[in-house]
Amino acid sequence: MPGQVVWPDRFSLLEPAERLARVARLIRDFHDAVRDFTPPPDACWQVLMPADESDIIAHHDLAPWNLVAGDGDQWAFIDWDTAAPGSRLWDVAYALHGFVPLSADPDWQRTDAEDRLRVFADAYGLDETERRRLVPLLGRRTRAMHDFLRDQAGRGAQPWATLWAEGHGDTWRSDTDYIEQRQERWARALLDG
């Protein structure tokens, strides 16, 4: 895929609401495309962390660091090595963390985070039940990333041990706390409009 990865230097491409909505629709198109796919019984998956459910083959790493923006309308996700059974909402929760972003880092915090959550959810087409189920998943999915890095670092598994040593675990833990402390805020944004 020709182009450049969005994170971190081209994140401004996602500033306008219509571009964030475009990402949400791209994810929805992918999820719809795999909805009826039945993998062969002997399929092998590289599962890094168990998903909450498994209604589709999920990407498991839908984030700005895996979105390539090419010329014009050519945008595509890369890094499919951990695609495996999972759920739409597990993928969406992870995507929201990166694309809103829902970050404790003051440099990445958004005063318009609620609006961006709503834009994404609307463009993806989440119904009210899905939105209610998504709210607690936002923190759980982020915490799962922290716990995965911690556990892998404890085993000395690479590249996870290096990422842990570089502070990525602290970032995921801080982001989890940030997200969980604002759960009511996210619920209002998603449900009250």
Domain ranges within the chain, ordered by starting residue = 4-191
H or E, element range at 86: strand 84-86
Neighbours of 34 (CB within 10 A): 15
* Cα-based distances in Å from 139 to 7, 19, 76, 164: 21, 24, 26, 19
Q: In this predicted structure, what is the pLDDT of residue 193?
A: 63
Neighbours of 186 (CB within 10 A): 25
With contact defined as beta carbons under 8 Å apart, do 121 and 20 qualify?
no
Give 4-191's CATH code, choosing from 3.60.20.10, 1.10.510.10, 3.20.20.120, 1.10.1520.10. Answer: 1.10.510.10
The angle at the Cα of 17, spanning 14 to 19, to the nearest 5 degrees, equals 45
Q: In this predicted structure, what is the pLDDT of residue 51?
A: 81
pTM of the complete model? 0.95
Q: In this predicted structure, what is the pLDDT of residue 163?
A: 97
Question: Digits of tens for pLDDT over the chain (193 positions)?
Answer: 889 999 999 999 998 999 999 999 999 999 999 999 999 999 999 888 888 889 999 999 999 999 999 887 789 999 999 999 999 999 999 999 999 999 999 999 999 999 999 999 999 999 999 999 999 999 999 999 999 999 999 999 999 999 999 999 999 999 999 999 999 999 999 998 6
Neighbours of 16 (CB within 10 A): 11
